Structures are given as structure tokens and as C-alpha cells.
Amino acid sequence: MKMPDTIDSKLFAPCGVNCISCERYQNPCVGCLIGDDGKSKASLKCKIKACFDTKNFSYCGRCSEFACPLLKKHSKKYVKRYDLNTLDSAKRIKTTGIGKMMAQDRQKWTCPDCGGVIHFQTKTCSECGFEF
């Protein structure tokens, strides 16, 4: 998949992951805030998403309980598995704003060789397979 010119802000998951950089995005997942089609059983049972759905916030980083134990545990797991600090990503929403964040993430996750999407799980380009 080629990186689009802009990334929809609904692709910023409550946990701090930018869905467009996930290898499951559109294969078959559509993103946490967009729908449940194609989600794994684990994703459908996500406690962070369930909590998020009960609150009246656009992003977890704006919640009065931020950073809660759920987000801390999730981030620790993602740092260990993928070297991706989702808690830092979720914190950026307060200081940077969603529009600027999505532009920064677009730059971060775009392959400089072909314009494909770099998947955070494998650190490889979706188009040319280049490893970062």
C-alpha cells in the first residue's frame, strides 16, 4: 500500500498506535475507531478500546486518568515486541494536536525509496520490502 497524501485522524487508535503503520490495516482490519470488520478476537476484546468507548474523549491522551495502567501495560508490551512506545505516542496528542501528529506520523512511516507504508511490527516497507 502506498502512503496516502493525508492520514485520516480516525486511524489514530486509542492505545497510541497509528493504524496505517500496522501490518493488519486493510488486511483485513479497517482501524479501531472505524469499525470491527476484519478484527481478530483479541482486538475485539481490547480493554483499552472498551474503556475508550465508555468515555467522552476523542483520544485517551485527553482523559483525566491518563496514563492509566491499561495504557502503560500495552506500551510496555509494544516497546518490548516492536520498539514502539505507544504511551509516548498517546501523550503527543496533548502537546501536538491530531492534525500535526498525523502529518508527523505520515513522514515517519513512509518509505523514502518508494512511498510505501513502513509497518511498525516488521520495520519493512509494504511495497518494496526494504528493511529499516
Q: So what's the pLDDT on residue 42?
A: 76
Q: So what's the pLDDT on residue 116?
A: 97
- DSSP code at position 85: -
pLDDT tens-place values along the chain, 132 residues long: 999 999 999 999 888 899 999 998 887 788 888 877 777 777 788 898 889 888 877 788 888 888 899 999 999 999 999 999 999 988 888 788 889 999 999 999 999 999 999 999 999 999 999 998
Return the half-sphere exposure (C-beta side, CA atoms, 13 A cut-off) of residue 118. Answer: 18
Checking 49-55 for CB contacts under 8 A at 24+ apart, the result is 49/13, 49/14, 49/15, 51/14, 52/14
Q: So what's the pLDDT on residue 64?
A: 86
Q: So what's the pLDDT on residue 44?
A: 82
Q: So what's the pLDDT on residue 117?
A: 97
CB neighbours of 69 closer than 8 A, spacing ≥ 6?
A: none
Give me the residue spans of the domains in the chain.
Answer: 9-110
Angstrom CA distances, 102 to 38, 117, 127, stand at 23, 14, 21
Q: So what's the pLDDT on residue 27?
A: 78
Q: So what's the pLDDT on residue 95?
A: 86
The Cα 69–Cα 75 span in angstroms is 10
CB neighbours of 55 closer than 8 A, spacing ≥ 6?
A: 63
